Chains A and B, each alone.
Chain A
């Protein structure tokens, strides 16, 4: 047993867990703690209880059960050959810590992952046991996200799904060759197979829920995954293709991208230079285009440059519009929703507001100004009652006109 104080181990095991990007606590079944002996509730929307200076939301207590690991994945701070300090929690300690934070309204719940100790099944059993203590012994009704170990037995993954709101398995790298080079102990087919199994169990539970109100939940917030960007040579086109394949095949709620960032005691196999954080942002934007804007994966891939990378200086939607200028200008008073969603500068909300407003008025530029953030960005791509871009849409220097000027980040804490 680990003799160090809880605080000491918490620092190690939170530090070890922070490279998992997901912190979502949304989209699960609604619950509250009225009439129970326990505590907790979930609404449709998750809550971010704090933000760290890295801009990420802190919604869940995100820790590892242990950072001991028998695997040796090069990109991972917890790999066997890394010199980081090791620590472990018992399931009971994690459950108690979760409740202590939850009662003070610090968190929405728990996101628990673990290094692989002894074996995949043993590790998965420990994760499931933590969730079981929380749910059954403390009647905890808050959010639980469990990391699933793809090599573990199906029964253990099923047990995780019944206790947790979300389960996730990381594909880690966009290509199979990257995975076998950087994560020699993991197998892509095994990961895919486990994801397929979860997809099936989630679908079955949803189906049963429709027919019997009392049917048990199975990961009501679905499954997600994470890909590391910039640790291998995969291009944005390859990453987008992989992500859209995952959405299609395994019904994932989210694919998270994590720009590879320097870790203490890095392996020599990794690139020394980190990819620009903006690359991760561009990938998320492309993800949004596919999920909410009706773009096909191949269309977003069409916005990439010849080297297969999305431009970093402009967002993929603008890049796409600049490349396919024959689709513009779009008439804001007549165009269908799908065409409006392609206009750079018009978001989903703005488009819906525009569709409602144009039933009442012929939309002019000043109306658009009230519905959107910036009309200047829109103008080359639209026709309004009092506006026609004439030659603007075809200008060769349009990209330069629309690119945001490079802005230095403000020094907030400078003396």
Chain B
């Protein structure tokens, strides 16, 4: 052995992520017979010569497996200062035991694998968390991102961004260096600072809206979020500023949703008489219509009526008089009932919704259709009436009445013309609401009235 070898070698790599240079130097060291302890890869003080050593005269070409090369290419990008030395130690051992790498329980291999894993994760997170902002330069629009990688992965990740954004002009700035793509060639630049990148982007407000809206407050899992998106990345991602307020508001939003779905009638007894329903209705504030200050209009008719007619809701006249079906549509109905031979005095008439929903237009109160939710809430009262009157037949006028009776939206046309047996044995018949007839023009109206009359005639026959 020459004295120089006894003193060892100091190898400095120009770039921290230069795998090729490390491999050439490592090969030379192996061929020179240098043990891992005789080579220094770090920049510390080390007695000896620097640069690659000459090979021993009888040295053979070192051989390593593809698996080692892949592992080393990743691990070498780690910011761990000892990575070059760790890799050389493993390389040295591999020359004596080529299958060593398969032994995943070996502590040294585990260590290097851990480095490679952390680098892979950093590469992946950079692809995920880089956020471009637009800027204008002499040639037009350029997309610029500021990112702070933990390891030396910038160059390694260049191909990904080139492949994906080939037709864009973009720059990625990092504290370790920068990349610039002009649509055709990639250039490397010096380390940059956060201030070199644009501070805002017009699309970020939309992106934050999306982020907040796609979050489901009913299933908060902060741990799962932090595991994959640790806080260290947050400062360069526009959406993360929202997280504290989203988390803080989540529980309240969920409770509000559960509240909205709660049984509104949990505190209400099944009413014992029609009079009790009429009284309780006046105090019902369970939906917005009940809260609009109008008077509730209860059903009307004998308790033992064989026929129950269900309309939609009281109108302007009904609300003023406090009785159902006394307005224009009510008059149309009464005419037809009489014609069909149905006695109103022996019929129970009521509505799916008991308060008047309207829109104020000047001095007039214009009818507004109740929502399905409002009809569903008011079903409690309709069910109460049905339970007490126990009609043999129910005639539902229009879609709202059908929803009130069935509890689900159904097509009028599909249900019309034939009876449907309801739970409890009553027979349901369906026809238009008389106000529909009022809205039609002469020709159409005549036809619709004939159908309406025929529907009523069929019901009269079943009585």
Report A's interface with B, CB cutoff 8 A.
6-7, 10-12, 14-15, 17-19, 32-41, 43, 45, 47-58, 61-63, 72, 80-83, 97, 100-101, 103-106, 184, 259, 261-266, 268, 270, 272, 274, 277, 353-354, 356-357, 359-361, 363, 367-368, 370-371, 409-410, 412-413
Contacts and interface: CB of A to CB of B under 8 A. Distances in A.
A104 B146 CA distance: 12
B228 interface: yes
Given A32-B164, A262-B254, A104 B203 contact: yes
A265 B374 CA distance: 11
Interface string B204-233: 111101111111111111111110110000
13 contacts: A10-B210, A11-B213, A14-B210, A19-B216, A41-B163, A47-B124, A49-B129, A54-B221, A55-B219, A56-B221, A103-B132, A268-B407, A272-B263
Interface in B355-414: 371-373, 376, 403, 407-409
Central interface residue in A18, A45, A412, by most chain B CB within 10 Å: A412
A16 B333 CA distance: 42
Contacts of B214: 14-15, 17-18, 52, 58, 62
A360 B164 contact: no
Interface stretch (B20-28, B98-106, B277-285, B426-434): B98-106
A97 B143 contact: no
B30 interface: no
Contact of B221 (A32, A48, A55, A104): A55
Interface stretch (B71-79, B189-197, B238-246, B300-308): B238-246
B200 to A, nearest CB: 12
B336 interface: no
Contact of A55 (B132, B207, B225): B225
B43 interface: no
A368 B260 CA distance: 52
Contacts of B168: 39, 103
B102 A360 contact: yes
A363 B260 CA distance: 59
A359 B100 CA distance: 10
B237 A50 contact: yes
A18 B213 contact: yes
B144 to A, nearest CB: 11
Nearest to B258: A262
A235 to B, nearest CB: 22
A412 B222 contact: yes
B446 to A, nearest CB: 31
B262 to A, nearest CB: 7
A34 B163 contact: yes
B375 to A, nearest CB: 9
B331 interface: no
B257 A262 contact: yes
Given A97-B206, A104-B143, A261-B218, A266 B167 contact: no
B260 A53 contact: no
Nearest to B143: A103
B248 interface: yes
A264 B128 contact: no
Interface of B: 99-100, 102-107, 110, 124, 127-134, 143, 145, 160, 162-168, 201, 203-207, 209-226, 228-229, 237, 239-240, 243-244, 246-248, 250, 254, 256-258, 260-263, 371-373, 376, 403, 407-409
A410 B228 CA distance: 17
B314 to A, nearest CB: 21
Contacts, number: 222
B240 to A, nearest CB: 8
A265 B243 contact: no
Contacts of A409: 222-223
A413 B164 contact: no
Contacts of A35: 166
Given A353-B105, A356-B102, A360-B102, 16 more contacts: A34-B163, A34-B166, A36-B166, A40-B164, A55-B225, A81-B403, A81-B409, A101-B210, A106-B131, A264-B257, A266-B260, A353-B104, A359-B103, A360-B105, A370-B107, A412-B226
Given A54-B219, A360-B99, A371-B105, A265 B260 contact: yes
B99 A15 contact: no
A11 B209 contact: yes
A54 B254 CA distance: 12
Contacts of A33: 163-167
A80 B371 CA distance: 10
Contacts of A100: 203, 206
Contacts of B103: 356-357, 359-361
A41 B164 contact: yes
B165 A103 contact: yes
Contacts of B248: 413
A363 B222 CA distance: 38
B203 A268 contact: no
A49 B132 CA distance: 13
Central interface residue in B145, B163, B243, B250, by most chain A CB within 10 Å: B163
* Smallest CB-CB A-B distances: 7 pairs: A55-B224, A55-B221, A81-B372, A32-B163, A266-B261, A14-B213, A353-B104
A104 B105 contact: no
Nearest to B124: A47
B382 to A, nearest CB: 14
A72 B411 CA distance: 12
A33 to B, nearest CB: 4
A264 B127 CA distance: 36
A57 B166 CA distance: 26
Contacts of A14: 209-210, 213-214
A56 B222 CA distance: 10
Nearest to B372: A81
A265 B165 CA distance: 42
Central interface residue in B167, B228, B258, by most chain A CB within 10 Å: B167
A58 B119 CA distance: 22
Contacts of B211: 50, 52, 58
Contacts of B216: 18-19, 52, 54, 56, 261
A47 B131 CA distance: 14
Contacts of A39: 164-168
A83 B210 contact: no
Contacts of B218: 261-262, 274
Contacts of B166: 32-36, 39
A270 B376 CA distance: 14
B161 to A, nearest CB: 8
Nearest to A366: B105
Contacts of A277: 219, 221
Nearest to B248: A413
Contacts of A53: 215, 220-222, 225, 243, 246-247, 250
B424 to A, nearest CB: 19
Contacts of B247: 53, 412-413
Contacts of B215: 18, 52-54
A326 to B, nearest CB: 29
B223 A410 contact: yes
Nearest to B228: A51
B352 to A, nearest CB: 13
Contacts of A50: 128-129, 211, 229, 237, 239-240
A104 B131 contact: yes
A52 B228 CA distance: 10
A72 to B, nearest CB: 5
A56 to B, nearest CB: 8
Given A55-B221, A62-B214, A83-B373, A184 B408 contact: yes
Given A18-B214, A32-B163, A360-B102, A54 B207 contact: no
A15 B213 contact: yes
B100 to A, nearest CB: 7
Nearest to A13: B213
Contacts of B104: 353-354, 356-357, 370-371
A259 B219 CA distance: 9
